[in-house]
């Protein structure tokens, strides 16, 4: 066997390996996913709120999954928002932006990257928005900004708290300055909540980065970090190249931000977020009996949450 034959056979093996490699669609439709100990059934992971029972990794979940976990299926109502022009710049890079939008809508079942709803926590009315990272990296453009403002208006109308669950790569550059403008528009909306003395709570899930971190994710009354979530503005490599130094292993996590910058008020596992929200809302809005009894007023957890809320 000469060297040419060896090269041909090696090429055939490579082709076979590429063909056998699972596509993104195959992975999405598989009953299995992977974590610290290798393959794990998605249904087993789902029973534990999509949190690995061995390493406590909080796997990504969509807004619909999160709402169903937090509020129960059928216990939340979607808030519809306007539909700004989708592609004002007729953007095209490796593919048309309109094609990217079409694909994102098909994958997520959403009209844009943010899903908002009306619901209740401990019988207290709330309006909640959550970002879907699988919709073009959870990036924010005109439709997303409009969604947030519609949700804020609903919260003001109902005189209730607004909760924002972040998971974003930042602003959507396919729409250029119109995307960046949403940082200001959404911030103005949050300021209207404050004028009406209504609580604004952020839940930072992974990843919370870019322009969202630089705008409404960082101006909440209370900011809860979901365990292990990424919290950053620029990418790690960009920061390391700028600073010319090696960064700590846990840099750009909610745990690091809580310890070093104070941007995060508390770190919670997924299972603890809903009950903690109930207690916080009771404290902030002075509703229900959760903080009225002498026992709860002196409880360590209640005192800690009261301190955060204040």
Distance, in Å, from the CA atom of 173 to the CA atom of 179, rounded to the nearest integer, reads 7
| Long-range contacts, 144-147 (Cβ 8 Å, 24+) | 144/112, 144/113, 144/114, 144/172, 144/182, 145/181, 145/182, 145/185, 145/186, 146/81, 146/82, 146/83, 146/84, 147/79, 147/81, 147/112, 147/114, 147/116
Domain shared by 107 and 51, yes or no: no
The number of domains in the chain is 2
Are 173 and 268 found together in one domain?
A: yes
CATH number at residue 195: 3.90.226.10
Residues 56 and 98 in one domain: no
Which of 60, 79, 98 terminates a domain? The answer is 60
Run means of pLDDT, 10 residues per run, the chain, 310 residues = 66 64 69 88 92 94 97 97 94 96 97 98 97 97 98 98 97 96 97 97 97 96 97 85 81 93 95 97 82 51 60
**What pLDDT is attached to residue 235?**
79
Question: What is residue 126's predicted lDDT score, i.e. its pLDDT?
Answer: 98
Predicted pLDDT of residue 74: 93
Cβ count near 281 (within 10 Å): 26
- Residue 38's domain comprises 1-60
Residue from 157, 268, 176, 171 nearest 217 by CA: 171
Are residues 155 and 77 located together in one domain of the fold? yes
């Amino acid at each position: 066997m000469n060297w040419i034959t060896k090269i041909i056979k090696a090429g055939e093996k490579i082709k076979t390996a590429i063909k056998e490699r699972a596509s993104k669609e195959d992975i999405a439709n598989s009953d299995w996913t992977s974590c610290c100990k290798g393959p794990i059934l998605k249904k087993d992971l789902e029973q534990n709120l999509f949190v690995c029972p061995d390493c406590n990794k909080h796997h990504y979940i969509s807004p619909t999954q999160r709402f169903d976990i937090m509020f129960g299926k059928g216990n939340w109502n979607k808030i519809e928002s306007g539909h700004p022009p989708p592609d004002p710049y007729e953007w095209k890079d490796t593919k048309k932006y309109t094609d990217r939008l079409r694909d994102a809508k098909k994958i997520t079942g959403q009209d844009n990257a943010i899903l908002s709803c009306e619901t209740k926590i401990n019988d207290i009315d709330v309006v909640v928005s959550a970002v879907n990272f699988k919709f073009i990296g959870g990036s924010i453009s005109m439709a997303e900004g409009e969604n947030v403002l519609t949700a804020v208006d609903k919260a003001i109308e109902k005189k209730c708290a607004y909760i924002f669950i972040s998971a974003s790569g930042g602003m959507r550059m396919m729409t250029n300055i119109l995307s960046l403008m949403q940082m200001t528009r959404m911030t103005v909306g949050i300021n209207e909540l404050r004028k009406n003395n209504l609580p604004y709570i952020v839940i930072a899930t992974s990843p919370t980065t870019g322009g969202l971190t630089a705008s409404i994710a960082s101006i909440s009354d209370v900011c809860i970090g979901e365990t292990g979530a990424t919290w950053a503005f620029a990418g790690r490599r960009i920061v390391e190249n700028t600073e010319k130094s090696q960064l700590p292993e846990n840099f750009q996590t909610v745990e690091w931000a809580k310890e070093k910058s104070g941007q995060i008020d508390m770190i919670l596992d997924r299972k603890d977020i809903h009950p903690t929200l109930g207690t916080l809302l009771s404290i902030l809005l002075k509703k229900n009996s959760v903080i009225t009894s002498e026992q709860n007023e002196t409880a360590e957890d209640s005192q800690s949450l009261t301190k955060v809320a204040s």
